[in-house]
Structure 1
Amino acid sequence: MTNKEKYKQAFSVLHPSEDICLEVERMAIMSRKASFKTAAAFVTVCLLMVCAGGMAYATDVGGIQRTIQFWLNGEMTNATFEFDSDGNYVISYPLEDGTMGERGGGGIAYERDGSERPLTEDEVLESLNDPEVVYEDDGKVWVYYYDQKIEITDRFEDGVCYVEVSNGDKTLYMTIKYKDGWCSSPHKYQSPASFN
């Protein structure tokens, strides 16, 4: 017989007192309660992280939305500007008849190394101040730049019109082809053959 077997045989006749058994059971219950509290705290933290992540995702789905003022057809207009990380934007603004008008767009910029990147929010907002050429149904042609409204319908010669616009700080020289595009430069009028 080995020592292990001898110890088993000697102590097998001994039984713990009732108080010791109750203490062991009480300690086991407290241990389970502590484990349950730890698990509950862990589950709560996980749920909070999932909910917060879901809210952040829902917020980002529509992009960043804020109220801006921009020049529209020579009038300062309040609008809702929504921008996403791909450089796309949507502007919603009230029309005279009470309905909402909408404009949108986006674009890319080319880096010096030739790589493309989405436009930043600041670049998009700056482009909202670019001049605009509008062809109306009645045949009239207008140039809008900040608070300026210039009718250029009768200025076209051989399908081309040259217009100088200024906002006080910046002067632009516009070359406009009738219903065939336009360009502007801060230095000089561009040749109609240089674009489109």
Structure 2
Amino acid sequence: MTNKEKYKQAFSAIHASDDFSLEVEKMERINKQHKFKTMIASVAACVMIVGSATAAYAADVGGIQRTIQLWIHGDQTETTIQFDGNGSYSMDYTDGEGNMKHQGGGGVVIAPDGTETPASEEELMEQLTAPDVEYEDDGSVWIYWFDQKVDITDKFEKGVCYVKLESDKEILYMTVKYQNGYATSPHRYLSPSEFN
């Protein structure tokens, strides 16, 4: 008799119990439940990752947004400003009368060779902190720069006005053409023929 036949004969009298087959079925069910839970957890993780990426993308679509203090019409004002990265900005603030205001703008920088590039965030901030000339409905003309409000209505001679502005940080020499723009320099008054 071979070993194989001896094993068959020895174990032929042994039968697996019914409890053993139930145990196998139970383990198969637990395995399926575990696989299902793992699959659900994986799907949830994917949804969370995609959702986070979408939120991060959506937050970056409009560019960089921050809240800063700016001088607007001589009043220090808290503004929410957003730079789009393409040379433009938009800004929301509450004016001195409590009205919500929206302002936007932008520009390009022209290189000596004539190529244009969108203004950077620093260049836009320089534009926003530059003096502003306002022509009021009552005929008065005002310059606003930081906390200064200067009435220049009576200072025009032949349509041109020269104003020296001083702050803690700098001195600006400003030449204003009546309703035709202005120019500033930290060194001297510019001639009206040098701009516009």
1:91 CA drift (Å): 2.4
1:115 CA drift (Å): 5.1
What SS is found at the alignment partner of 1:36? Answer: helix
| Equivalent residue, structure 2, for 1:47 | 47
Contact 1:106–1:119 under 8 Å retained in 2: no
Contact 1:162–1:176 under 8 Å retained in 2: yes
1:131 CA drift (Å): 0.6
What SS is found at the alignment partner of 1:163? Answer: strand
Contact 2:108–2:116 under 8 Å retained in 1: no
Unaligned runs of 5+ in 1: 1-15
Unaligned runs of 5+ in 2: 1-14
1-side partners of 2:112 and 2:70: how far apart? 30
Which AA in structure 2 matches 1:168?
A: D
| Equivalent residue, structure 1, for 2:104 | 104
| Equivalent residue, structure 2, for 1:66 | 66
RMSD: 2.9
Pair 1:166 & 2:166 matched: yes
1:92 CA drift (Å): 2.2
2-side partners of 1:64 and 1:119: how far apart? 12
Which AA in structure 2 matches 1:117?
A: P
1:63 CA drift (Å): 4.2
| Equivalent residue, structure 2, for 1:149 | 149
What TM-score comes out, normalization by structure 2 length?
Answer: 0.75
| Equivalent residue, structure 2, for 1:117 | 118
Pair 1:135 & 2:135 matched: yes
The CA deviation string for residues 53-93 of structure 1, in whole angstroms up to 9 with x for no partner, is 23223323454443321112222222222333334222222
Contact 2:87–2:108 under 8 Å retained in 1: yes
1:190 CA drift (Å): 1.8
| Equivalent residue, structure 1, for 2:181 | 181
What TM-score comes out, normalization by structure 1 length?
Answer: 0.75
Q: Equivalent pairs: percent with the same residue?
A: 46
What SS is found at the alignment partner of 1:80? Answer: strand
**Residues 1:192 and 1:172: Cα distance change in structure 2 (over 3 Å):** same
